[in-house]
Amino acid sequence: MSYAASPALVRLPIWRARVVLFVFVGAFAVLLGRSVWLQAVKTGFLQERGEARYSRVLEVPATRGRIVDRRGDALAISTPVKSIWAIPEDVKATSAQLRQLAQLLGAEPRELERRLADTARDFVYLKRQIAPETADRVAQLGIPGLYQQREFRRYYPGGETMAHVVGFTGVDDAGQEGIELAFQASLAGVPGSRRVIKDRLGHVVEDIEAIRAAQDGKDLRLALDGKIQSLAFAALKQAVDAHKARGGALVALDTRTGEVLALANVPTYNPNNRARLSGAQLRNRVITDLFEPGSTLKPFTVALAIELGKVTPQTVIQTAPGRLTIANHTIHDAHPGGAMSVAQVIQKSSNVGAAKIALSLPREEMRELFRRVGFGAPPQLGFPGEAAGKVREAKTWRPIEQATMAYGHGISVSLIQLARAYTALARDGELLPLSLLKTDMPVAGRRVLSAETVRAMRAMLEAATQPGGTALRARVMGWRVAGKTGTAHKLENGGYAAHKYVASFVGFAPASDPRLVIAVMIDEPSAGQYYGGAVAAPVFAQVMQGALRLMEVPHDAPLAPLELPGEGDEAKEST
Amino acid sequence: MAKLNLLLLLVLLACAFGLVTSQHQGRKAFAALESEVARARELDVEYGQLQLEASTWGLHARVARIASEVLGLRAPDPRRVRIVAPDETGAAP
């Protein structure tokens, strides 16, 4: 019997089938609609969310560029360190663990507890910049809520010797002083990021895209010579200590390339440990301090007079009786002389002689020369805080001011300006542009004086270091040197302090073919001696001797021990 | 017709296996690259640290101190120094 023929079969109403069909069709329509919605309209969003499950954006760290000296020895290097931070609310540690943690971090357990008790904050640094090994041991403690962050710390192997040139960076790796600040833009790297696919275990399995390539900072090679620099620093420090001075500064310039080979300051600081720094320690005296240069300026006055044909080195000038009164002001010579030649004015550093020569010069010409050799304008090293110095407008000069300016009073310059001005005397009249970075390329200077004038001036400056001159102690065994001493009263409260001096010496060697200009300044020597020839010149000689040897400069004088003058034998400069 | 289908199926399978293997190999190569890049960074860091160390040990002041105090070296007396000019061939006589 067939099923259809079964008597039990009940005929169902047709609408029931229709309802079922309708529901099915409706359900399919909904599914279809939904899938079109997901596939066509929301597909981008969904793909993004899907990718987010396995793809990650990784930060690619960039390292800060290294700073090396001209020999390639490291002066500043960044190495990775770890910083430990915590979410106080999540930290669950036993007191034993806390004690261990405090010991590892070198902190007081009480201090640590106090920081972790502050549950209102959700980010607390426990210790910044610790060695990676210590950080690993902290991680081994397994305290929840404790995290590590990779950072870079800058190390300065040169320490206090190089501090003022190199400078330092802050805790966030941005330059704060010196080269680190001046070349921040090229030293700093730009961290990049990239998108990767990570597997279940956190391994990177595929690179999707580099969102931004990381750019490491550029390495910087300074003009500085580490050996000359440490020689200079040691000699300067010794002199500052011996003469109980407030400070001192020294700069050495290469006369062929204009490179700054050494730049030292005392007092200094250790850039690796900068707790309790004072302004005096931080100050880069060579570049930011202005002082009245004193007699070291005389060569420029006299050179101008020769250039303008007012005098020749043989012209005789009457300096007796060692005093010159101009409008109620009197200029003195420390050692009154009689009639002396212009060459002797430089050699014995006579104020009266220099003043008389200056008064024969037009004041506009004098100011123009000072401006031409770089006074009154920043030396454009690109260094932070370069001082410009002050040279007043010529039309405001009174005769007494013109006379005192001849021997470096009433004008303020920085030591590096002074050293740079002397490159013109060392280079047959060409003033060099300076560079803190290694260039190794001979540069062309700007002519400020004629070669004949400068050669004559060099002979006079060499005589200043010979018997009868003020700078016997500047002599160096094996090379001829030329230079000028300076001793200036310090300016204080708008007047000259009676017993406070700045002793200086600027010179170059070998005199036959100058290679190196060194300028030394000692601030307030107060152990009895204060003349530039006694205080600053020996530092010059010490550094020059070592530097010429290191630079392998051929000798131009016999290697014979020098006879050093006894007390009082040497001529004293007047200012 | 059935033969062709079978053949196409085999080709499909071969391609699929090929794809899987090459992807696997690609990932393995990538992992190797990753670890080498990480190693390069580590070595760079180590180089920096060694440079630091070299600079610290080689500080001029330290070398000069050891030379004079430990090794007893000093500059010769100038009267006993003779300067020789290099001859034409550049070799020291």
Given this model, what pLDDT does residue A339 score?
86
**Ramachandran category for residue A55: left, alpha or beta (phi over 0 → left; psi -120 to 50 → alpha):** beta
The owner of tokens 């230079």 is A483
Identify the H or E element spanning A415.
helix A415-426
Contacts of B79 (CB under 8 A, 6+ apart): A560, A561
pLDDT per position as a tens digit, A500-543:
899 999 999 899 999 999 999 999 998 888 888 899 999 999 99
**A484: Cα within 13 Å, side-chain hemisphere:** 34
Q: Is A230 on the interface with B (CB under 8 A)?
A: yes
Considering only residues A483 and A440, tell me which one the structure prediction assigns the higher pLDDT.
Answer: A483
CB contact under 8 A, B59 and A204: no
ipTM of the complex, rounded to two decimals: 0.74
Given this model, what pLDDT does residue B93 score?
42
Read off the pLDDT of each residue in A485-508 and give the average, rounded to a whole number. 87
pLDDT band at A325 (very low <50, low <70, confident <90, very high): confident
Chain B, residues 60-89, CB within 8 A of chain A, namely: 60-61, 78-79, 81, 83
Identify the H or E element spanning A52.
helix A43-54
* Contact predicate A225/A262, CB 8 Å: yes
pLDDT band at A482 (very low <50, low <70, confident <90, very high): very high
SS3 of A207-257: EEEEEECCECCCCEEECCCHHHHHHHHHHHHHHHHHCCCCEEEEEEEECCC
pLDDT at B89 over 60: no
Q: Which architecture does CATH list for A226-550?
A: 3-Layer(aba) Sandwich (3.40)
Read off the pLDDT of each residue in A183-201 and give the average, rounded to a whole number. 85
Which of A403, A434, A406 is CA-nearest to residue A421?
A: A434
Given this model, what pLDDT does residue A484 score?
93
Of these ranges, A54-63, A78-87, A517-526, the one predicted with the greatest mean pLDDT is A517-526
Of B27, B51, B61, Cβ closest to residue A234: B61
Partners of residue A231 in chain B, C-beta under 8 Å: 60
Contacts of A121 (CB under 8 A, 6+ apart): A88
Partners of residue A214 in chain B, C-beta under 8 Å: none
Angle subtended by helix axes A95-105 and A132-140, to nearest 10: 180
Angle, alpha carbons A539-A424-A468 (nearest 5°): 50
Given this model, what pLDDT does residue B6 score?
94
Mutate to test the interface with A, among B33, B44, B52 (most CBs of A within 10 A): B52
Count of C-beta atoms within a 10 Å radius of residue A134: 16
The arrangement of strands across the sheet holding A192-198 comes to: A55-60, A192-198, A204-212
Given this model, what pLDDT does residue A456 score?
92
Report pTM.
0.81
Q: What are phi and psi of A527, to 5 degrees?
A: -110, 30
CB contact under 8 A, A561 and B78: yes
Contacts of A130 (CB under 8 A, 6+ apart): A81, A82, A83, A84, A105, A138
pLDDT per position as a tens digit, A413-460:
999 999 999 999 999 999 999 999 998 888 888 899 999 999 999 999
Nearest CA in chain A to B61: A230
pLDDT band at A566 (very low <50, low <70, confident <90, very high): low
CB contact under 8 A, A230 and B61: yes
Given this model, what pLDDT does residue A444 score?
86
Q: Is B48 on the interface with A (CB under 8 A)?
A: yes
Q: Which architecture does CATH list for A59-93+123-221?
A: Alpha-Beta Complex (3.90)
Given this model, what pLDDT does residue A239 score?
94
Nearest CA in chain A to B75: A546
Identify the H or E element spanning A198.
strand A192-198
* Contact predicate A295/A573, CB 8 Å: yes
CB contact under 8 A, A79 and B52: yes
Q: Say how far apart CA A359 and CA A362 lie, in whole Å.
A: 8
Considering only residues A229 and A122, tell me which one the structure prediction assigns the higher pLDDT.
Answer: A229
Given this model, what pLDDT does residue A253 score?
95
Exposure string over A158-190, b if 16+ CB within 10 A, otherwise e: bbbbbbbbbbbbeeebebbbbbbbbbbeebbbe
* Largest interatomic CA distance in chain A: 158
Q: Residue A437: beta bridge partners?
A: A222
Q: Say how far apart CA A64 and CA A525 lie, in whole Å.
A: 41
pLDDT per position as a tens digit, B12-54:
999 999 999 999 998 888 888 889 988 998 898 889 889 888 8
* CB-count exposure of residue A42 (10 Å: 0-12, 13-18, 19+): exposed
Angle, alpha carbons A502-A506-A508 (nearest 5°): 165
pLDDT band at A21 (very low <50, low <70, confident <90, very high): very high
Shortest CA gap B4–chain A (Å): 34
pLDDT at A40 over 90: no
Given this model, what pLDDT does residue A91 score?
81
pLDDT at A318 over 90: no
Read off the pLDDT of each residue in A215-237 and give the average, rounded to a whole number. 92
Given this model, what pLDDT does residue A570 score?
53
Q: Say how far apart CA B27 and CA B33 lie, in whole Å.
A: 10
Nearest CA in chain B to A229: B60
Angle subtended by helix axes A537-550 and A226-242, to nearest 10: 160
Mutate to test the interface with B, among A70, A151, A205, A553 (most CBs of B within 10 A): A205
pLDDT per position as a tens digit, A382-419:
888 888 888 888 888 888 888 888 888 888 999 999 99
Chain A, residues 66-95, CB within 8 A of chain B, namely: 66, 73-75, 77-80
CB contact under 8 A, A206 and B27: yes
Which of A557, A502, A531 is CA-nearest to residue A245?
A: A502
Helix, coil or strand: residue A181: helix
pLDDT per position as a tens digit, A339-354:
889 999 898 888 899 9
- Give A432's DSSP letter: P
Given this model, what pLDDT does residue B71 score?
93
Considering only residues A572 and A432, tell me which one the structure prediction assigns the higher pLDDT.
Answer: A432
Given this model, what pLDDT does residue A414 score?
93
- Give B70's DSSP letter: I
Of A77, A226, A234, Cβ closest to residue B51: A77
List the catalytic residues of A: 295
Mean pLDDT of all residues belonging to chain A? 87
CB contact under 8 A, A230 and B60: yes
CB contact under 8 A, B59 and A230: yes
Q: Name which of A32-41, A50-59, A164-173 the model is least confident about.
A: A50-59
Identify the H or E element spanning A79.
strand A74-86
* Contact predicate A507/A250, CB 8 Å: no
Mutate to test the interface with B, among A58, A68, A77, A196 (most CBs of B within 10 A): A77
Domain ranges of chain A: 59-93+123-221, 226-550
Given this model, what pLDDT does residue B92 score?
44
CB contact under 8 A, B49 and A157: no
Of B31, B49, B81, Cβ closest to residue A559: B81
